[in-house]
């Protein structure tokens, strides 16, 4: 809330900085985080530039975005991203992503 008691409607998105092969920092927005029963934590990221481009698209126009998935360790801003190299893990992450996409589509249909 702002000082005058009104609610602010600005969306704050969690971001992660990742160094690319050239050593340059790239910004990614966190799409979703989840934890498995075995305690392993996963994070789905979208390049921030794609989020900005999607925001500029016409209402109702489909937008395709790249999603990057990682397992991670740590908490808050101090996390270590671990590449997913196991097919079983990829299948699980893909299932979560498909479920998330279906839920987002359902929300759009009800607006």
Convert the pLDDT of each residue in 38-97 to its tens digit.
999 999 999 998 877 776 766 666 667 889 999 999 987 788 999 999 999 999 999 999
Q: Assess contact for 100 and 32: CB atoms under 8 A.
A: yes
Please say whether the beta carbons of 15 and 46 come within 8 A. Answer: no
SS3 48: helix
Cα–Cα distance, 59 to 87 (Å, whole number): 36
The predicted structure's pLDDT at residue 6: 40
Paired residues of 23 in beta bridges: none
Strand residue runs (E) in 1-111: 15-19, 25-35, 41-47, 68-75, 78-83
Q: What pLDDT shows up at residue 2?
A: 38
Residue 1, pLDDT score: 39
In the predicted structure, residue 24 carries a pLDDT above the cut 50: yes
Q: What is the pLDDT of residue 5?
A: 43
Q: How far apart are CA 41 and CA 79, in angstroms?
A: 11
């Amino acid at each position: 809330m702002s000082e005058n008691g009104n609610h602010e409607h600005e969306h704050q998105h969690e971001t992660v900085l990742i160094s690319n092969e050239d050593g340059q920092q790239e910004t990614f927005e966190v799409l979703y985080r989840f934890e498995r029963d075995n305690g392993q934590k996963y994070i789905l990221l979208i390049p921030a530039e794609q989020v900005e481009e999607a925001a500029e698209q016409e209402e109702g126009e489909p937008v395709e975005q790249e999603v990057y998935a990682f397992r991670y360790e740590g908490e808050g801003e101090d996390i270590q991203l671990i590449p997913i190299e196991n097919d079983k893990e990829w299948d699980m992450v893909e299932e979560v992503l498909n479920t998330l996409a279906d839920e987002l589509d359902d929300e759009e249909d009800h607006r």
